[in-house]
Amino acid sequence: MKKYIIAFLIIISIFFVSFAEEIESDEFGKEIYTEEDDIFKIEYTKKSAAKAMLLSALFPGAGNFYANPKSITTYIFPLIEIGLWYGYIHYNKMGDDKTEEYEYYATGEVIGYDDEYPNGVIHRYNRFDQERAEELLISYNDNDHYDEDYFQLDDDNSQHFYEDIGKYDKYLFGWYDWINIYATQIDQQNQEFFNINNDKWIFDSGNWIGNNPMNLNSGYYINNKSEYDSHNGKYSIFRAEYIEMRKDAENFYGNAVSCNFGIVFNHILSSLDALRLARNRNVEYTDNRLKIKVAPVFVNNELSPSIMLSKRF
């Protein structure tokens, strides 16, 4: 009879130990899991998946640290974030610098020296030359193709102005080296003047299609057919260099945009990883933790209490 009473008490003890785990709240209102047995009392705070995602959405790595500070991703996402922000700022700065460079290249004053700029102070792009060519083309044989709506170059140095002078052939006439080669004529007194009404300007049905060189003594003319096509006459070293500078600026800005997308993507990935870490940590502490229990065993045909360690995998 005594053995049965002892066995019953052991079973009752095991029953209460097994259901000793419960959810409590601490003084801050956080959910705390508590597990009690005859030897240990274990407490841990449940990780909020929503909080982890929100923290990482604001700054990658913050929610990951909250969920599991030992995870390697806790430190990878912040490093990626810093690198992407550096790239974004760096490439935007390079794009701004290159933009300022090509704008000055086109419209800033250049002081002539040696043979490269033989005519003193110039602007590589000159609206006055462009407007003279526009007026002559509009008046040439009263051609309807060249009307007031055909030429619409901005009067100020706007973004459209800097785009148009490199993009459209109809605004070619403002480039100084082109004018100096293809529209500048030297008279007997060695004076330069702008000329359009002769056989050097090539028209097809009243439409201008190109020029032959007029000023073969120009400091910009290198007499190379592979670079200066005497038929279409649309080559300008200044314009070609300007276009390359604009392409460089566009590439820098494109890299900055890519970094911007990377920043957004990094926030999303970090939030999803924080969610994963929070869920795994909660599962680990609720289902896979080490448990210490008292259980009856038979030793020498007698029922005796024992301490058992168990862990789910």
Confidence of residue 164 (pLDDT cuts 50, 70, 90): very high
Per-residue pLDDT, averaged over 257-277, amounts to: 94
pLDDT confidence tier of residue 9, bands split at 50, 70 and 90: very low
pLDDT band at 1 (very low <50, low <70, confident <90, very high): very low
Which pLDDT value is given to residue 206? 72
Q: What is the pLDDT of residues 32-53, one digit of tens each?
A: 444 444 444 445 578 888 999 9
Q: Render pLDDT for 83-141 as a digit per residue (tens, 0 to 9).
A: 999 999 999 999 999 999 999 999 988 765 445 455 567 789 999 889 988 888 887 76
Query: Could you tell me the residue ranges of all domains in the chain?
Result: 2-83+259-310, 126-174+176-235
pLDDT category at 60 given cuts 50, 70, 90 is very high
Under the banding of pLDDT at 50, 70 and 90, the label for residue 209 is: confident
Region 273-277 average pLDDT = 92
What is the per-residue pLDDT for 17?
35
| pLDDT above 90: percentage of residues in the chain | 36
* pLDDT for position 139: 77
Over the chain, what HEC string results? CHHHHHHHHHHHHHHHHHCCCEEEECCCCCEEEEEECCCCEEEEECCCHHHHHHHHHHCCCHHHHHHCCCCCHHHHHHHHHHHHHHHHHHHHHHHHHHHHHHHHHHHCEECCCCCCCCCCCEECECHHHHHHHHHHHHHHHHCCCCCCCCCCCCCCCCHHHHHHHHHCHHHHHHEHHHHHHHCEEECCCCCEEECCCCCCEEEECCEEEEECCCCCCCCCCCCCCCCCCCCCCCCCHHHHHHHHHHHHHHHHHHHHHHHHHHHHHHHHHHHHHHHHHHHHHHHHHHHCCCEEEEEEEEECCEEEEEEEEECCC
